[in-house]
Homo-oligomer: A and B are copies of this chain.
Amino acid sequence: MVTMQDVADAAGVSKATVSYVVSGSPLISEKTASRVRAEMEKLGYSINHAARVLSTSKTGAIGVLSSAEQNASFSLSLSAYLYGIARAAGDMGYDTMLLAGADGASALKSAALTKRIDGAIILDVRNGDSRIRAAVQSGLPTVLLGDPEDSMGLDSVDADFEEISSTLVNYLYRYGHRDLIFIGWPKMTYERRLNYAIRFRSAMVERAQALGMKIHCIYPENSMADLLRRLKRAVEEYGDATAILIHNDAAVIEVSQAFLSLNIKIPEDFSVVAVIPDKVGVGMQIPFTAMNLDINAIVKRTVGTLVHRIESPDGPARRVLVGQHLLLADSVKRISR
């Protein structure tokens, strides 16, 4: 293995000088620096990461913690989040470590204690999440991807779900709709206190009430059969409804097909608006007017916030709500009134 000492010997300088060249210190003359660089090139030198970590006590790595349930199962967008984070981190000079294991809280503590990571991102944060406390206790710079009621002084980044739902409700209102069916997540999602679902629904209901609109909520489980059943019943039962609002990543994919099955024409029979993770939408060509969750933008902000926190641990906590865009399609018709 080629070390700094080897390069130093070959270039006729000390290893301190080589170190300064590697870190790009302006103190070294260009003449010396280029000679050193030439030798590095010639000898095929690469820095030894562990040695640098030991002497700087910066690991150059961040940890990512998904929820236990998620990492046990399939998720359409989890891998998009993970790789988005890894790419954004790489761009900022950090490696990304996957923190798996049944117990997220203890995985976090252990990684922090043994100084394997400089900071962490917690995914799928819920209200009262035990991992929040673990992060606080460990003293590790940590950003929550999600927006829980109580972030215990940690930074958080999430899409602005209250804004998102208000925008969709307002949009339907402007097009004359006054009576909506809401397709939400499975009941379980709300019970697990995933705050994006809760915030979205609350803001939606509040906004609708303020505008004098009616909303009927259904919560299909993750199966086509259940979606069909509940949707059919809702359509029959709520005869005055003219529009459907969807916040459920799985359902938004299947619902087109459900409409087809139930012989519902969009937008003739119902107007439809939705929330969709961007790449799902692109891949599947979901033809609904929708608020597009820009996962890339969200993860970039998340990593940026974490890096900022690592570099200045003592600043005030940030709560970042990333605004999202409305993508128009032909799924909403105007109701004259």
Chain A residues engaging chain B, CB cutoff 8 angstroms: 46-51, 53-54, 57, 59, 61, 64, 66, 70-80, 82-83, 86-87, 89-90, 95-101, 110, 113-116, 222-224, 254, 256-257, 260-261, 277, 279-280, 283-285
Contacts and interface: CB of A to CB of B under 8 A. Distances in A.
A71 to B, nearest CB: 4
B50 A66 contact: no
Contacts of A53: 50, 53-54
Contacts of A50: 50, 53-54, 57, 59, 115
A75 B87 CA distance: 17
B77 A83 contact: no
Contact of A283 (B48, B59, B73, B260): B73
A259 B334 CA distance: 34
23 contacts: A46-B115, A47-B114, A49-B59, A49-B114, A50-B50, A50-B54, A50-B59, A53-B53, A61-B97, A66-B79, A71-B83, A72-B83, A74-B79, A74-B280, A75-B79, A79-B82, A82-B82, A86-B100, A90-B101, A96-B98, A222-B284, A223-B285, A224-B256
* Most chain B beta-carbon neighbours within 10 Å: one of A59, A64, A98, A116: A98
A129 B241 CA distance: 53
Among A51, A64, A78, A101, which residue has the most Cβ atoms of chain B within 10 A?
A78
Contact of A114 (B46, B66, B97, B224): B46
Contacts of A283: 73-74, 222
Contact of A73 (B80, B89, B223, B224): B80
A318 to B, nearest CB: 25
Given A66-B79, A83-B98, A83-B100, 20 more contacts: A46-B110, A50-B50, A50-B115, A54-B54, A61-B97, A70-B79, A71-B79, A71-B87, A72-B83, A73-B80, A74-B76, A74-B277, A79-B82, A82-B98, A86-B99, A87-B101, A90-B101, A95-B97, A97-B98, A254-B257
Given A87-B101, A97-B96, A283-B222, A74 B73 contact: no
A64 B48 CA distance: 20
Nearest to A281: B74
B83 A90 contact: no
Contacts of A98: 64, 82-83, 86, 96-98
